[in-house]
Chain A
Amino acid sequence: MFKLSIVSPERTLFEDNVESLIVPGGDGYLGILSHHAPLISTLKVGEIAFRDTDKKEIFMATSGGFIEVSDNVVSILVDTAEFLDEIDLSRAEDELHRAEELLNLTVTDVDHDRAIHSREKARNRINLIKKYK
C-alpha cells in the first residue's frame, strides 16, 4: 500500500492509499507497487489504472504529464485526466472527427503536431470506454 495523489493544474483529482498503479510512462507503461525506487518520468497519452485498498480497479484517461515516486508517495501531475465515468463518448468521437479533418487540412508543423495530439487524446478516451464499459 502506498499514497497516491493525482493533481491537475486546476485541482486535486485523487488522493488516497492504493495497492498498485499502472501509468503510461515516457518509455512505455510502468507498474508501480509499494517501495518502488525513487523515480521521475514523463507520462504519455494513455490510461492510468490503479487498485484501491478495497481491491477495486479504477481507470482514468490522461493526456500526459509527469510522475514522481519517492518513499511510498506517488504524485502524478497531469495536464488533464478523467475518470472512466466522466468520459463523454460522443464528445470524444466528435473530437476525433475534428482532429482527423484538421489533419487533412493543416500545413504547418505546429498545427500538425497539435492535431495528432488531439487525435491521440480522443482515441485514448474512446478506447478506454470500449475496453471497460
Chain B
Amino acid sequence: MPTPRDIRKRIRAVVSTSQITRAMRMVAAARLRKAQQMVEQSRPYSEKMRLILEQISSASAEVEHPFFQQREVKVRVLVVFTSDRGMCGSFNTNIVRQAVRLLKEPGAENIKLVLVGKKGEDFFRRQSWPILKVYKGLQGRMNLEVVRDLTDYLINLFVSGEADHIQMLYTRFKSMVSYKVGVADFLPINPPKTDRGATRQYIFEPDPKEIFGALMPAYALTIIQMALADSLASEHGTRMIAMSLATRNAEEMVDTLTLQYNKARQGAITKELLEVVSGSEALRG
C-alpha cells in the first residue's frame, strides 16, 4: 500500500504531464490550421497551372517532354514522407510499415529510397535498403526551399536516367479522424488530359512547346508541394488526436489517484484513531 505522500507525488507528476500534452495539443492544432491554410492558399496556383497545361495540350497536337518519357523500369525511387518529431500516434509507424510492405513485394529489389523526415531516417538507417538522400529539418513546417531542392533532385534523377520511375509514399489528410497512407506516381508524369478541349483560341508566346518546357518543372514542384502539405496536415492532425487522448488519460489517472489518495489518507486517520483509542482503553483498564 503506497503512502499518501507517494500518491501525492505521483498526482503532481501526472498533472504536469497533462499540462505538457495539453500544450502540445494546442500547438498541433495551430500548426494544423496553418497547414490547411497553406493547402488553401497554394490551390489557386496549382489549379491555374493545370488549366494552362490542359489548354496547351489541347491546342498543340503533340506535346513532348522528358517528364512524360515511359521507359523500361530498371531503377525505382520511393520518396517516403515521415515527420521529424514523434508524439503523433501511429503516423510514422503506418508509413514505415507500408513502405516496408512495398519493399518486400516481389520485384521490389530495384527500389531505392529518398527519405523526408527524421523518423524515416531513424528507421531505415538500420535496415539494408539503399538510401539515396535524406531531407530533414522541416520541423513540421512547409519550406519551399526544401521543396524546390527535393523537386530538382528527383527531376535530375529521372532525366539523367538514374531512376526510371519515381513514386511518393505519404499520408493523405481526409478529415480530422481519417488518414490514409498511399502511393502516388511522380515521374514519369501522365500528360494532363482534358475532355473540355480548347475553350479559347489562345495566343502563345513564345510558342506552345517552349511554354510547356518552362511549365513542367513548376508543375512538378506543385505536385511535391501538395504531397508535403498533405503529409504535414496529417502529421499535425494525428499529433493533435494523440495528445488529446494523452491529456484525457492523464486526467482520468489523476481522478483515480485522487481517490486512492483520499482512501489512503482516511485509512491512516482511522488507524491513528484506533491506536489512540485502544491506547487510552489500555491505560484505563
Contact = CB atoms under 8 A, between A and B. Distances in A.
Interface string B204-233: 111000110011001001100100000000
A12 B52 contact: no
Contact of A9 (B52, B200, B214, B222): B222
B218 A77 contact: yes
Interface of B: 38, 41-42, 44-46, 48-49, 51-52, 55-56, 142, 144, 200-206, 210-211, 214-215, 218, 221-222, 225
A38 B45 contact: no
Nearest to B221: A9
Given A9-B144, A27-B206, A77-B49, A38 B44 contact: no
B223 to A, nearest CB: 11
**Range, interface on chain A:** 20 to 34
Contacts of A41: 203-206, 211
Nearest to B142: A10
Main secondary structure of the interface of A (DSSP, over half): strand
Given A9-B144, A10-B144, A79-B218, A40 B45 contact: no
Contact of A42 (B42, B201, B211): B211
A51 to B, nearest CB: 22
Nearest to B59: A40
Contact of A38 (B46, B142, B203): B203
B195 to A, nearest CB: 19
Given A41-B204, A66-B211, 8 more contacts: A9-B45, A38-B200, A39-B204, A40-B203, A42-B206, A42-B215, A70-B202, A77-B52
B45 A42 contact: no
A26 B225 CA distance: 26
A7 B43 CA distance: 10
Contacts, number: 81
A75 interface: yes
A37 B204 CA distance: 11
Interface string A1-43: 0000101111110000000000001110010000001111110
Nearest to A41: B205
A79 B144 CA distance: 11
Contacts of B202: 38-40, 70
Nearest to B199: A70
Given A9-B222, A9-B225, A70-B200, A77 B211 contact: no
A63 to B, nearest CB: 12
Contacts of A101: none
B205 A39 contact: yes
